[in-house]
């Protein structure tokens, strides 16, 4: 009786698997992985474009001088508190790191009570560090509105959220992204892993486990293929570079066109103008009425530095 039951159970499990996943010549027929949409490609373009833009701007002396002045006091603060933060995160268990980082999210409630307690103690210590920095700033009468200061620098460019991308560059420069480099485990880690797997394959983690390595790679390749083709053909970096020459450096369309290589057909005013328009659209530049600034945004930065 027991053997018959086990045989019955095994047969039904196999039937269920075959109904859900069918293989033909090594390819799965069933739940499809849908390639990235144009909307997703546009969002990716915008993210990459803003990072490329910051990369272009740091080669401009007037810009880097203003940025250096803003980050100077904050660099000293980070240098002072960084050892404390490193020790704090190093002393946390992998589960507590996950709980601390998900404290404002839904995954936090899924952690065990003792793990949440550990994370709450760490959060209280972090709060004390922030309060100490704020108290010091008041005593020294120093302005440390870091984000607003960055946004003021890039405001003449009219590129939304560019200040945030500058903050990301600073975070890497100061090594803040390495402070909590230890393992993260628990519900927050599981949720992140699930989100990544679903985003790249349209499968849940349980469904992904049923895949062979080859089929899993095929799904990822199918998912990102439109984005891969787009990035290879679209020459986003060139568009951003020409936009900087025009908007930031103040070069005219004609000047830029005359400097391009005529042998590859990139020398017409219309072509250069279209490249710059594409860059403005991707960056989400807010339209400004009236004539362009004479001398470009560099001229504004020179005035700000005085």
Residues 22, 121, single domain; the answer is: no
- What token pair was written down for 294? 């004479």
User: Rg (Cα) of the chain, in Å, rounded?
Assistant: 26
What's the domain range around 124?
Answer: 38-305
Q: How far apart are CA 252 and CA 258, in angstroms?
A: 10
pLDDT number for residue 178 = 82
C-alpha angle 162-166-169 in degrees, rounded to nearest 5: 140
Mean pLDDT by 10 residues, the chain (306 residues): 46 45 43 88 94 95 92 85 89 92 88 94 92 80 77 94 92 84 87 89 85 88 91 91 94 89 71 92 79 78 82
pLDDT number for residue 144 = 64
- Predicted structure pTM score: 0.78
- If we measure between CA atoms, which residue out of 68, 287, 283 comes closest to residue 161? 283
Residues 78, 153, single domain; the answer is: yes
Give me the helices (H) in 58-186, please.
61-90, 94-101, 113-140, 146-154, 162-174
Residues 112, 160, single domain; the answer is: yes
| C-beta neighbour count of 41 within 10 angstroms | 17
**Total length of the chain:** 306
Q: Count structural domains, the chain.
A: 2
CB 193 within 8 A of CB 205: yes
Residues 152, 232, single domain; the answer is: yes
- What token pair was written down for 120? 């709450």
Residues 23, 151, single domain; the answer is: no
Residues 10, 118, single domain; the answer is: no
Q: Could you tell me which residues are beta bridge partners of residue 24?
A: 27
Residues 141, 120, single domain; the answer is: yes
Residues 113, 4, single domain; the answer is: no
pLDDT number for residue 157 = 94
Residues 55, 174, single domain; the answer is: yes
CB 154 within 8 A of CB 283: no
pLDDT number for residue 13 = 43
Give the up-direction half-sphere exposure of residue 174: CA atoms within 13 A in the CB hemisphere.
24
Residues 139, 194, single domain; the answer is: yes
Query: Phi and psi of 200, rounded to 5°?
Result: -95, -15
- What token pair was written down for 216? 């899993």
Residues 73, 16, single domain; the answer is: no
Residues 15, 101, single domain; the answer is: no
């Amino acid at each position: 009786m027991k053997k018959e039951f086990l045989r019955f159970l095994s047969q039904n499990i196999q039937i269920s698997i075959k109904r859900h996943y069918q293989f033909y010549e090594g390819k799965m027929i069933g739940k499809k992985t849908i390639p990235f949409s144009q909307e997703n490609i546009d969002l990716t373009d915008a993210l990459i474009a803003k990072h490329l833009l910051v990369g272009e701007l740091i080669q401009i002396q007037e810009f880097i001088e203003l940025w250096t002045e803003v980050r100077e006091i904050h660099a000293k603060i980070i240098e002072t508190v960084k050892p404390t933060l490193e020790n704090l995160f190093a002393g946390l268990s992998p589960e507590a790191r996950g709980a601390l980082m998900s404290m404002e999210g839904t995954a936090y409630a899924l952690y065990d009570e003792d793990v949440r307690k550990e994370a709450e103690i760490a959060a209280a210590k972090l709060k004390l560090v922030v309060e100490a920095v704020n108290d010091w700033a008041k005593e020294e009468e120093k302005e440390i509105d870091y984000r607003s200061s960055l946004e003021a620098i890039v405001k003449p460019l009219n590129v939304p959220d560019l200040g945030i991308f500058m903050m990301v560059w600073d975070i890497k420069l100061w090594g803040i992204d390495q402070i909590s480099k230890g393992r993260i485990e628990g519900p927050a880690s599981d949720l992140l892993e699930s989100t990544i797997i679903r985003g790249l394959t349209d499968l849940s983690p349980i469904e992904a486990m049923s895949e062979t390595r080859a089929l899993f790679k095929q799904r990822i390749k199918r998912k990102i293929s439109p984005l891969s083709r787009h990035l290879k053909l679209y020459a986003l970096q060139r568009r951003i570079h020409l936009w900087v020459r025009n908007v930031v450096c103040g070069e005219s369309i004609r000047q830029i066109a005359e400097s391009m290589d005529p042998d590859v057909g990139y020398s017409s005013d219309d072509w250069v103008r279209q490249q710059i328009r594409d860059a403005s659209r991707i960056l989400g530049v807010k339209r400004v009425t009236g004539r362009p600034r004479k001398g470009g945004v560099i001229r504004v930065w020179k005035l700000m530095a005085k």
